[in-house]
Structure 1
Amino acid sequence: MSQDPIVDTIFLVFTGAAVLATLALAARQSLLLAYIALGVLFGPSGIDLMEDTAIASDIAHIGIMFLLFLLGLDLNPKELMQSVRRTTLVTLGSAFILAIAGLGVGLAVGFSPLESLVLGGTMGFSSTIIGLKLLPTTVLHHQRMGEIIISILLLQDLIAIAMLLLLRGAATGDAPWTDVALMLLMLPTLALFAALCARFLLIPLIKRFDTIREYVFLVAIGWCMGMAELGGVVGLSHEIGAFIAGVALAPSPIAVYIAANLRPLRDFFLVLFFFSIGVQFELGMLTDVLLPATLVAGATLALKPIIFHWLLTRIGDPVQRSTEIGYRLGQMSEFSMLIGTLALQLSVIGARVSYTIQLATILTFVVSSYLVVKRFPTPIAVSDDLRRD
């Protein structure tokens, strides 16, 4: 290997991904599974070719920001707010039911009440990456299903951030309620700031120099990353900041051009994201956590479609759409692994619980993406009848 770990990482990820992706398509499997398997193979638990596993994770984090920025570019702010208000009870209700289920599973396998509660909390989040990457663009941006999924995921992200604050408070003994209140206050403040900047500064600049494509590209990336950084500084998250940046530009006609040009860049980083998931898992813990992780994953995969179907039909959504949304949101989340890792670092939970959460999340990623690709339209479907870009 060379002396540049970043070059080595890019080489390993994309050369290996090209090979495994070919095998996955030949076997009619999801490409996401190939990327995760590649991470396990090259990571510390496999043949250990990664000198610095944090590099892949750090680079991949940018992919999530670009994904949410591009989503925001295609969302009408007024329609988004209406959808968020309508799905609040669905999001909170599903999180509560799954927390109770997770509490029961945790206690049954011998975890402490606090550990079981943390476990249950992580079950309530769905993956932003899988939920949105497997949704066809036409459905994502122009149909009711896309609005519902995005609004639920956005609310789940806010709940996850609040949970992270509560964990830090539990570890330090400080009351986190002030931090949670400030977070809720900063969300509309950041959105207003982004809207004013976009309307009076960014959009006029782009209109003036829109013939220079390189300039528009640079401004779009700078705006996305700048708002992502600001979102992190004010106590929200980089992802939410990037999403708000996209929504602020959505009313402008230039949003369509920006979205089309940034999509390949997004896919580049998302390959790294799924690779990093596999890299981070330690196979040495497999024996200790296989049973509880399988139970958690099984409960999540079985309950989420039923819960979302029931709650969505209660607010008037059609049965067929509610069923499909339930399956598309049927996995655990990147936030689940983040919460499990942070809770371990803060000594709120033990290593066995943390790795249970990580393995359960990976298992739900694998099974959920497989079910969605096999049953519903996706951009990476192996069946021609279900392939929708």
Structure 2
Amino acid sequence: MDNGSLVFSFFLIFTGAAALASIALYTRQPLLVAYIVLGAILGPYGLKLVSDTKLLSDISHIGIIFLLFLLGLDMQPGHLAHMLKKTALIGLISSLAFAASGYVIALAFGFSQQECLIIGAAMMFSSTIIGIKLLPTTVLHHKHTGELVVSILLLQDLVAIVVLLFLYGGEKEASGSAILLTLLALPALVILAFVLVKYVLLRLMQKFDRFHEYLFLLALGWCLGLAELANLLGLSAEIGAFIAGVSVATSPIALYIATSLKPLRDFFLILFFFSVGASFNLGLLADVIVPACLLSLFALTLKPAIFRSLMQYLKEKKSTAWEVGFRLGQVSEFSILIAYIAANSGLIGTEASHVIQATAIITFLLSSYIVVFNFKSPIAVSDRLRRD
């Protein structure tokens, strides 16, 4: 990094985040907004005080991994399977609808066929971070609305893995056999995880449960180890971390692990949102703002409407259907990853890549406002809606 060491960059990020977060709380704004704005101010396209956004992005990815691990700790395996089965149709139909709409909008702005397909693919997914971060931990994770949100997000993650396989082009081709092997790796990883938990992990925890430091280290190793194994098998690290959490969910130690890891998760998530703001080239804003605003308008309005229609078809209550739709009414951190990989592989141009990034940032911000002002969340602006 320029301007000194990693320690100096962390000083700027977290001191700045504390200052802007204080302003955000006084003005009753979502904290996520403060972190993204800080990234734009301090990043290479702002004051240039923190320039190595690639390193920050890699570090902050750990926050997403911990987020999925902690989520898995709250999910009972049998109930999760039931919810995934129930929302599979919603997830697949909505993904196709979002992709088609994104493709049409991109085509109207004169992007190439290939760029339109990739922009459409980026519109398929909702943000795991926004969706889960704004779920009240003790209110919704074990209630129906939260379970619907989580199961749809997980299904979208599986679809995203397939999309990313196709995008890892250039140096390597994603063949049909490679995709099939990756899909077969998922049940194999699940079986391995539950076997290791039953015969190794739980026995170690029971034997050394008096040593809290050891339990903390064991949980970290289990989470990151399974995440890396999933990555090696062609899945995502997030999927591996979630499986790691679910496999330990029935253990009496699950609550202690969840409590211990939450501060570590928040540390890395601050870095993630900072890197989102810092990596955007403000010089291209004039070229991408119109298509990005139109795509954002689609995500913020049509996504909730499509989710609501599909859920009411499955006999969900109207209020529940609307809430789930608005909580998922943004594009995803996967969309930013798609833009990055596709641009590096030469599949799309710089302008198309920044359209996807701008859409992600705009929908991150506006969707957070919509949820925080209207639904129960840990950072709701009113005492009536604030839950954690």
Q: Same fold (TM over 0.5)?
A: yes
Q: Supply the distance in 2 between the matched residues of 1:288 and 1:247 (Cα, whole angstroms).
A: 44
C-alpha distance after superposition, 1:338-386 (max 9, x if no partner): 1011111111111111100000110000100010000001101121111
- Correspondence 1:351-366 to 2 at 5 A: 351-366=350-365
Q: Residue 312 of structure 1 aligns with which residue?
A: 311
Unaligned ranges ≥5, structure 2: none
Task: Supply the AA of the counterpart residue of 2:207.
Answer: R
User: Is 1:328 the equivalent of 2:327?
Assistant: yes
Q: Residue 161 of structure 1 aligns with which residue?
A: 161
Q: Residue 136 of structure 1 aligns with which residue?
A: 136
Q: Supply the distance in 2 between the matched residues of 1:212 and 1:173 (Cα, whole angstroms).
A: 46
Task: Supply the AA of the counterpart residue of 2:62.
Answer: I
- The Cα of 1:247 is off from its aligned counterpart by 0.5
C-alpha distance after superposition, 1:8-32 (max 9, x if no partner): 2211111000100111112211100
Task: Supply the AA of the counterpart residue of 1:311.
Answer: L
C-alpha distance after superposition, 1:263-284 (max 9, x if no partner): 1111111111111100111101
Q: Supply the distance in 2 between the matched residues of 1:289 and 1:149 (Cα, whole angstroms).
A: 30
User: Is 1:284 the equivalent of 2:283?
Assistant: yes
Task: Supply the AA of the counterpart residue of 2:277.
Answer: G
Q: Supply the distance in 2 between the matched residues of 1:130 and 1:330 (Cα, whole angstroms).
A: 10
Q: Supply the distance in 1 between the matched residues of 2:57 and 2:348 (Cα, whole angstroms).
A: 23
Q: Residue 186 of structure 2 aligns with which residue?
A: 187
C-alpha distance after superposition, 1:179-210 (max 9, x if no partner): 21111100110011000000110011101111
TM-score (norm 2): 0.97
User: Is 1:26 the equivalent of 2:26?
Assistant: yes
Q: Assess, with a 3 A threshold, how the Cα gap between structure 1 residues 175 and 3 changes in structure 2: closer, same or farther.
A: closer
Q: Residue 50 of structure 2 aligns with which residue?
A: 50
User: Counterpart of 2:141 in 1: which secondary structure?
Assistant: helix
Is the CA contact 2:166–2:173 (under 8 Å) kept in the aligned structure 1?
A: no
User: Is 1:201 the equivalent of 2:207?
Assistant: no
Is the CA contact 1:75–1:250 (under 8 Å) kept in the aligned structure 2?
A: yes
User: Is 1:374 the equivalent of 2:388?
Assistant: no
C-alpha distance after superposition, 1:84-104 (max 9, x if no partner): 111111011111111111111
Is the CA contact 2:2–2:50 (under 8 Å) kept in the aligned structure 1?
A: no
Task: Give the stretch that moved more between structures: 286-295 or 3-12.
Answer: 3-12
Unaligned ranges ≥5, structure 1: none
Q: Supply the distance in 2 between the matched residues of 1:175 and 1:51 (Cα, whole angstroms).
A: 33
- Stretches (4+) displaced over 6 A: none
The total of aligned residue pairs comes to 388
- The Cα of 1:148 is off from its aligned counterpart by 1.2
Q: Assess, with a 3 A threshold, how the Cα gap between structure 1 residues 3 and 33 changes in structure 2: closer, same or farther.
A: closer
Q: Assess, with a 3 A threshold, how the Cα gap between structure 1 residues 55 and 172 changes in structure 2: closer, same or farther.
A: closer
- The Cα of 1:229 is off from its aligned counterpart by 0.7
User: Counterpart of 2:110 in 1: which secondary structure?
Assistant: coil
Is the CA contact 2:38–2:274 (under 8 Å) kept in the aligned structure 1?
A: yes
User: Counterpart of 2:168 in 1: which secondary structure?
Assistant: helix
Q: Residue 222 of structure 2 aligns with which residue?
A: 223
Q: Supply the distance in 2 between the matched residues of 1:206 and 1:195 (Cα, whole angstroms).
A: 15
Task: Supply the AA of the counterpart residue of 2:231.
Answer: G
C-alpha distance after superposition, 1:235-260 (max 9, x if no partner): 10111111110001011111011111
Task: Supply the AA of the counterpart residue of 1:285.
Answer: L
User: Counterpart of 1:384 in 2: which secondary structure?
Assistant: coil
Task: Supply the AA of the counterpart residue of 2:41.
Answer: L
C-alpha distance after superposition, 1:272-316 (max 9, x if no partner): 111110011110110110111111111111111001111111112
Q: Supply the distance in 2 between the matched residues of 1:329 and 1:174 (Cα, whole angstroms).
A: 32
Q: Residue 38 of structure 2 aligns with which residue?
A: 38
User: Is 1:341 the equivalent of 2:340?
Assistant: yes
Is the CA contact 1:5–1:52 (under 8 Å) kept in the aligned structure 2?
A: no
Q: Supply the distance in 2 between the matched residues of 1:113 and 1:99 (Cα, whole angstroms).
A: 13
% identical equivalent positions = 53
Task: Give the stretch that moved more between structures: 5-14 or 350-359.
Answer: 5-14
- The Cα of 1:168 is off from its aligned counterpart by 3.0
Q: Assess, with a 3 A threshold, how the Cα gap between structure 1 residues 26 and 194 changes in structure 2: closer, same or farther.
A: same
Q: Residue 88 of structure 1 aligns with which residue?
A: 88
C-alpha distance after superposition, 1:6-59 (max 9, x if no partner): 212211111000100111112211100000000000001110101422222111
User: Counterpart of 1:44 in 2: which secondary structure?
Assistant: coil
Q: Supply the distance in 2 between the matched residues of 1:166 and 1:2 (Cα, whole angstroms).
A: 35
TM-score (norm 1): 0.97
